[in-house]
Amino acid sequence: MRRAAPERLSDIRHPGPRNAERLPYRLCNAEKVSIGLRPGSMLLEALAHWIEVQGYESAVLDLAGLALSPFDYVMPDRAVDDRHAAWYSDTRHSAGVTLSDAVAIVGHRDGQCFAHIHAYWTNKGEEHLGHLLPETLQIGAEGEISGFGIKGAQFVSRPDPETEFTLFRTAGPAHAEPGLPANALITTLAPFEDLPASVQSLRKKLGVPAVKVVGLGSLAGASFADAAPMHGLISEILLQRECRAQSDGLINLPVRCVDLHGDLYAGHLRTGSAPTLITCELLVIADA
């Protein structure tokens, strides 16, 4: 039986000790990449081969336009025990679609390539947003995806004491490559950290006047500048294109969200009204 949904932010309790570092990050080098994919190939296997050949530590990729054969996914839901603040729904199945909007954080789990993917798609006029199960993803048609290859830092899946989830954490490079300029950073936000405010803080850490931001995560509710608020406090999100922040305080963070009721939201986040639920995994890149 699942626990009751939280009604207030103060109802959300994570089971472990509070992590001291709330905005952990690693400086890195991010370069634009494109990857051709063959129909019938498994996405994880294709990404693992590409990372090995190209020598990247991790990647953050845009999967919009990618055609998938039938696959499995889950949605955000209430916890199934008395410890976790949230959990996943039962596994759902798609007969195969072309993704309209999707972000993949590519890193490592148990020494193998792994990907955390949130995607938005439509099927027979119905909108969906879910957490795709990467081991089920098979390429349905020839295509190309783009994004950023990362050197100098990596996402590594590890147990997180605060939330008791196994999550991507930031780590140093597996293979040092001296002399590589740091034009970006990767980060994994801690619970309750405001996403827009965190982006501005991380821009300052990078030491540049403007940044682009790519990523995904979960929020405990959100207010938008241009849409109705998301009151459900268990959600999953993906950042849309054109997410940026500048030193003059201007911030533009359009996101897509789905809450525990299956309701979908899209809008530009308001600073101070978008607290992280579990984590947000982001690539913050200097914007020339």
CA distance 235 to 231: 10
pLDDT tens digits, 57-102: 999 999 999 999 999 999 999 999 999 999 999 999 999 999 999 9
Helix, coil or strand: residue 257: strand
pLDDT of 176: 66
Alpha-carbon distance of 105 to 107, in angstroms, equals 7
Surface-to-core class of residue 220, CB atoms within 10 Å of its CB (0-12 exposed, 13-18 middle, 19+ buried): buried
User: Cα dihedral sign for 253, 257, 260, 261?
Assistant: positive
Cα–Cα distance measured from residue 173 to residue 186, given in angstroms and rounded to the nearest whole number: 12
Cα 120 from Cα 204, distance rounded (Å): 31
CB atoms within 10 A of CB 198: 24
DSSP structural state of residue 18:
P
Beta pairing partners, 87: 77
Q: Where are the alpha helices (DSSP H) in 157-230?
A: 195-206
Structural element, H or E, at residue 255:
strand 254-259
pTM above 0.95, yes or no: yes
What digits encode the pLDDT tens for the residues 108-136?
999 999 999 999 999 999 999 999 999 99
Look at residue 177 in the predicted model and tell me its pLDDT: 67
Q: Each residue of 133-183: pLDDT tens digit?
A: 999 999 999 999 999 999 999 999 999 999 999 999 999 987 766 678 999
By CB neighbour count within 10 A (0-12 exposed, 13-18 middle, 19+ buried), where does 193 fall? middle
193 token code pair = 């950290």
**Burial class of residue 22 in the structure, from the number of CB atoms within 10 Å of its CB (0-12 exposed, 13-18 middle, 19+ buried):** middle
* Domains defined for the chain, CATH in brackets: 23-286 (3.30.1330.80)
pLDDT tens for each residue of 248-267 = 888 999 999 999 999 999 99
Q: What is the structure's pLDDT at 288?
A: 72
Under a CB-based contact definition with an 8 Å cutoff, are residues 37 and 147 in contact?
no
Mean pLDDT, to the nearest integer, of 268-273? Answer: 98
Nearest partner of 218 among 199, 187, 190, judged by Cα: 190
Cβ(28)–Cβ(153) under 8 Å? yes
pLDDT given for residue 180 in this prediction: 82
Q: In the predicted model, what is the mean pLDDT of residues 27-39?
A: 97
Is 241's pLDDT higher than 80? yes
User: Rounded to whole angstroms, how far apart are CA atoms 122 and 142?
Assistant: 20
Is the pLDDT score of 239 beyond 70?
yes
Q: Ramachandran region of residue 80, left (φ > 0), alpha (ψ -120 to 50) or beta?
A: alpha
Taking the C-alpha atoms of residue 131 and residue 72, their distance in angstroms, rounded to an integer, is 9
Structure tokens, 217:
């995560």
